[in-house]
Amino acid sequence: MILISLEHILVQIYFAFFLIITLVFGATLVYPVTKIGNSVKRGVLSVFLCITTNLIIRWFYSRHLPLSNLYESLIFLSWNFCFINVLTQFLSPNMRWIGMITAPSALFTHGFATLVLPIDMQQSQKLIPALQSHWLIMHVTIIFLGYVTLLCGSLSSIGLLAMNSKDTTVLKKTQIVFLLENCRKTKIIHLLDNLSFYSIVFGFTFLTLGILSGAVWANDAWGRYWSWDPKETWALITWLIFANYIHIRLNKGWRGQKPALVRSLGLFFVWICFFGINLCGIGVHTYGWFF
C-alpha cells in the first residue's frame, strides 16, 4: 500500500516536471541562455530518475517488468523518451532540438496514460503465460527504443517541413538581416534533416533487432517464428517503409522536402504499430483497449 501511494506521488511529480520542462525547452530555442539550459539538464535528469524509480517500484510489487497493459506500456514509452533526452543532453549539450521533440512526446504519452485511461486500466495485472519469459526484457526494451527513435526522426521531419513552409522573402527587412535570418533557417533545416536521418537509422536498427528477437521468442513460445499477427504485420510494413527510405538516401543522396514528407508519414505507421493495434483489441500483442 505504501509503495502504491509512493508511486502515485511520483506520477504527479514528474507529470508537473514534464510540463515545466516542455515549456522551458520552447523558451531556450528562442532565448538560448546557458543558465536556463543547465537548469533544464538537471530537470530532465530529475524526471528520468523519478520515472525510473516509479517503474522499479511497480516492478517490485508486481513481480514482473511493468508491461502488462496499455498504461504500463505508455509509461515505459515515456521512460524511453526521457532516456533519449538525458543521453543527448549530456553527450551533446547543444542538441536542444532533441528536447523539444522528446519532452512534449513524453508529456503527451504520460498525460494520456494517467488522465485519459480509466483507473482500472492503470492497475498492474498478472502476465499471461506467454509473456513470462526472459525474452520479455530484451525484446520489449529494444523494440521500444526503436519506436522512440523512429518517432523522433519523424517528428524532426515535421519540424523541417514547418520551417520550410515559412516564406521569409515577404518580410520587409534590410538585405543583411534577411541574409542572417535565411542563414539561420538553412542551418536549422540542415540540423533537423541530419537529426531525422540518424534517428531513423538508429530506430531502424533497433526495430530490426526487436523483430528478430520477437521472432525467436515466438518460436520459443508457440513453435513458429511468424504468425502474421496484426502487430507483426504492421511492424513489417513500418520496417519496409523505413528500409526503402534509408536505401534511397544512402544510394541517391535523397534530401529535401520529399524525403522529409516520407519520414513524416512514418509517424503514422509507427503509432499504428504501437498504439492503433490496441484499439482493435485483437492479436497477442494487445495491451488493452477502450471498447
Q: What is the pLDDT of residue 240?
A: 93
Distance, CA of 111 to CA of 182 (rounded, Å): 37
Residue 88 maps to a domain: yes
> Domain range holding 77?
1-119
| Arithmetic mean of pLDDT, 64-86 | 86
Residue 126 maps to a domain: no
Residue 125 maps to a domain: no
- Residue 98's closest CA among 77, 83, 113? 83
Residue 129 maps to a domain: no
Task: Determine the number of helices (DSSP H) and then strands (DSSP E) in the chain.
Answer: 9, 0
> Is there a single domain that holds both residue 158 and residue 30?
no
Q: What is the pLDDT of residue 172?
A: 45
> Is there a single domain that holds both residue 151 and residue 289?
yes
> Is there a single domain that holds both residue 210 and residue 146?
yes
> Is there a single domain that holds both residue 267 and residue 147?
yes
Residue 208 maps to a domain: yes
| Arithmetic mean of pLDDT, 10-22 | 81
Q: What is the pLDDT of residue 29?
A: 65
> Is there a single domain that holds both residue 68 and residue 175?
no
Residue 127 maps to a domain: no
Give the number of residues written for the chain: 291
**Average of per-residue pLDDT values in the chain:** 79
Distance, CA of 78 to CA of 195 (rounded, Å): 20
Q: What is the pLDDT of residue 36?
A: 61
Distance, CA of 71 to CA of 242 (rounded, Å): 28
Please check the confidence at residue 286 and state whether its pLDDT lies above 80: no
Residue 1 maps to a domain: yes
> Is there a single domain that holds both residue 75 and residue 191?
no
Please check the confidence at residue 207 and state whether its pLDDT lies above 90: yes
> Is there a single domain that holds both residue 164 and residue 22?
no
> Is there a single domain that holds both residue 38 and residue 179?
no
> Is there a single domain that holds both residue 232 and residue 198?
yes
Which of 63-67, 77-81, 235-239 is the least confident region? 63-67
Residues of the chain above pLDDT 90, percent:
12
Domain count of the fold of the chain: 2
pLDDT grade for 212, boundaries at 50, 70 and 90: very high
Residue 134 maps to a domain: no
> Is there a single domain that holds both residue 98 and residue 180?
no
pLDDT grade for 146, boundaries at 50, 70 and 90: very high
Q: How would you label 28-66 residue by residue, b for 16+ Cβ within 10 Å and e otherwise?
A: beeeeeeeebeebbebbeebbebbeebbebbeeebebbb
Mind listing the pLDDT tens digit for each residue in 162-205?
A: 777 654 444 444 555 455 455 666 777 777 888 888 899 999 99
pLDDT grade for 149, boundaries at 50, 70 and 90: very high
Most confident of 26-35, 61-70, 217-226: 217-226
Residue where a domain terminates, one of 63, 87, 119: 119
Distance, CA of 55 to CA of 72 (rounded, Å): 9
> Is there a single domain that holds both residue 230 and residue 267?
yes
> Is there a single domain that holds both residue 189 and residue 270?
yes
Cell numbers standing for residue 58: 511497480
Mind listing the pLDDT tens digit for each residue in 82-95?
A: 888 888 877 766 66
Mind listing the pLDDT tens digit for each residue in 251-282?
A: 877 776 778 888 888 888 898 888 777 666 66
- The one-letter amino acid code at 219 reads N
